[in-house]
Amino acid sequence: RVDVITISHDHFDHNYIKVIGNEAKIIDKVGFFNECDIPIRGIPSFHDEVKGAKRGENIIFIIEMDGYKICHLGDLGHLLTAEDLDMIGDVDILLIPVGGNYTISGSEAANIANSIQSKITIPMHYKTPRLTFPLDGVETFLTHMKSGERINSNSIIVEDILNEDKNKVLILTT
């Protein structure tokens, strides 16, 4: 069952919510929300490097759950300012687009990930064998991050990883 859906931007290839049904609470705007006792904050940003002139607005979501702070950058299309980084604050888990073309590039993503310094960084929105979109693969991001661990799963147990002393880049491959 899905309780809450966050939508960072309204593009056809990202939010096919009809398949979920009508029961979930949809959050598709900036602001502060508390759904199912989960604090969620939407921070304004853009889907491109020209303040939305090409692809419109994007929402960064900060979700606090089970003692962890998760930051989902959506389809971020620009580098973050010092003010953006202050609004995001400390993060345990970062989900960041790395495929370029429609979002930040792998090198820009590495710059942002290094600025945020989350304990776990999960790249997203990149070329895979199943996609035909003109995106770059995850490799450029990994080269700039200097490491990455491929996990043959679509989920992780965060407690095990967060107790380690170093930041980890995890590539979920399933």
Reference 136, options 123, 151, 147, 146; nearest CA is: 123
Predicted TM-score (pTM) of this structure: 0.93
The CATH number of the domain holding residue 137 is 3.60.15.10
pLDDT of residue 13: 67
Q: Strand, helix or coil at 22?
A: coil
Do the domain assignments include residue 154? Answer: yes
Mean pLDDT estimate for the chain: 90
Note down the domain range covering 98. Answer: 29-172
pLDDT of residue 1: 77
Do the domain assignments include residue 111? Answer: yes
Do the domain assignments include residue 157? Answer: yes
In the chain, where do the E strands start and end?
4-6, 25-27, 31-35, 38-46, 57-65, 68-72, 93-97, 120-124, 149-151, 168-172
Residue, of 43 and 137, whose pLDDT is higher: 43
- Structure confidence at residue 29 as a pLDDT band (50, 70, 90): very high
Do the domain assignments include residue 67? Answer: yes
In angstroms and rounded to an integer, the radius of gyration of the C-alpha atoms of the chain is 16
Q: What is the H or E stretch that residue 87 is in?
A: helix 82-88
Do the domain assignments include residue 3? Answer: no
Do the domain assignments include residue 12? Answer: no
Q: What is the mean pLDDT of residues 4-8?
A: 89
Q: How many Cβ atoms are within 10 Å of 158's Cβ, its own excluded? A: 17
Q: What is the mean pLDDT of residues 16-23?
A: 74
Do the domain assignments include residue 9? Answer: no
Do the domain assignments include residue 24? Answer: no
* Tally of structural domains, the chain: 1
pLDDT of residue 69: 97
- Structure confidence at residue 23 as a pLDDT band (50, 70, 90): confident
- Burial string for 3-27 (b: 16+ CB within 10 Å, else e) reads eeebbbbeeeeebeeeeeeeeeeeb
pLDDT of residue 40: 98
